[in-house]
Chains A and B, each alone.
Chain A
């Protein structure tokens, strides 16, 4: 069961996914990925978009970091967790406990 308390922090074994009311899409007009909620549009940087595209509720945080390491030279697992914690606090990402 997803739990989404704002004080919750992610661990390596959690399986993050986007909350049901949140949509990730590519905006051709701005040539950037954007995160859409009922009241907000967030234009994402490349790293954030790459992380969120991997949040399918199946991969764990550790899996996501591994995939990113295969693509980019430097990936900081701590940064990935920070990003997910920020998004979890806003209830845009839900964590399925590993």
Chain B
């Protein structure tokens, strides 16, 4: 514990930019992308990393948007490595040329996670909104050639959940050491497109059978991480391991968030340009607001799971009910659970994966109607 009595954070998610050449309709980035154009400079990021290390951060996840769009990525990594941080790049792989990869390798980058949208080139490119499959496959091979361990990330939804077997086969073929199959979390663009993305219960059940069998078959060769779809569960996920407990996020503009989906929560802003990171972590109202269990309403307050899931995700509660201090509606004990149950029921009765309309992520929200939250 730090002198303030608050736990020290382990991980920093650094969202370097919200720029991205892809258009994934499930993107968790905020819909109002234009509000985050004033990005921290190289020197500002370097200062943030030094402050984070001092605060106890050990792991740096470099993400976005597309972090490779930052020309100073290698410089930022070099600083992180000098500080003793474990560095992890989370990328769509667009821009990961052999030259760029070697530059990052030389800078000391520890680990690379490449996201793919599907195992079928046409489906991958349709979801990504741009031809990108071939480049991703080439980049994945390059990562292995350069001696990095390879993790593949796949966000799962109505359009690719039935393809898990093929996705796992592709991962095996690429020699992936790990694969993260993450069911979509409904923030940002994903929430806007929820009607088109939410899978049916039958799809979820089929997928779980495939994952279980693959885990047995590939044990010791490839690690399979499967993030359960919280809309289909009984209990919420322990978001971030608790508010202001283990992790923090710094977004492109320098605002510091306790959860990567907290952009629109009605909390006072805390920016690294105005305050030291230690003050933000230990004392800022945004981080103090939902620490511990004192803020909890019923049914969480008297629930025996309150230290296990911390009442779920504050951002999900806010996005679905307008009040960040309510029980996560994903929990079947929440008085607002009907919101989630209705969405799941609609997904069970909904159109086939191919017919559901989606709005691709764009720099400027066009207000296109179709499937909306």
Contacts and interface: CB of A to CB of B under 8 A. Distances in A.
A23 B58 CA distance: 11
Contacts of B88: 38
B249 to A, nearest CB: 16
Contact of B151 (A7, A29, A38): A38
A36 B59 contact: yes
B8 A30 contact: yes
B8 to A, nearest CB: 6
Interface residues on B, range: 20 to 34
Interface in B1-49: 8, 10-11
Given A23-B110, A38-B178, A30 B56 contact: yes
Most buried by B among A4, A5, A25, A41: A41
A71 interface: no
Contacts of A30: 8, 56
Contact of A34 (B11, B58, B177): B58
Contact of B55 (A5, A23, A29, A41): A29
B113 A91 contact: no
Given A36-B58, A38-B113, A23 B8 contact: no
Nearest to A29: B56
A41 B59 contact: yes
B147 A29 contact: no
Given A21-B111, A36-B59, A6 B86 contact: no
Given A20-B147, A29-B8, A36-B58, A5 B113 contact: no
Interface in A1-24: 4-8, 19-21, 23
B220 A5 contact: yes
Nearest to A41: B10
Contacts of B177: 21, 91
A7 B177 CA distance: 17
Contacts of B54: 29
A29 B220 CA distance: 34
B149 interface: yes
A36 B86 contact: yes
Interface in A27-86: 27, 29-30, 34, 36-39, 41
B223 interface: yes
B147 A27 contact: no
Contacts of A37: 86
Contacts of B55: 29
Nearest to B150: A21
Contacts of A23: 86, 110
Contacts of A38: 86, 88, 110-111, 113, 149, 151, 178
Nearest to B54: A29
Interface in B49-89: 53-56, 58-59, 84, 86, 88
Contacts of A8: 220
A6 to B, nearest CB: 5
Contacts of A36: 58-59, 86
A21 B53 CA distance: 20
B202 interface: no
Given A38-B178, A41-B10, A7 B59 contact: no
9 contacts: A21-B110, A21-B177, A25-B84, A29-B55, A29-B56, A34-B58, A38-B178, A41-B10, A41-B11
Given A5-B220, A21-B111, A38-B149, 12 more contacts: A21-B149, A29-B8, A29-B54, A29-B55, A30-B8, A34-B58, A36-B59, A38-B86, A38-B88, A38-B113, A41-B58, A91-B223
* Interchain residue pairs A-B with the least CB separation, the first 3: A21-B149, A29-B56, A5-B220
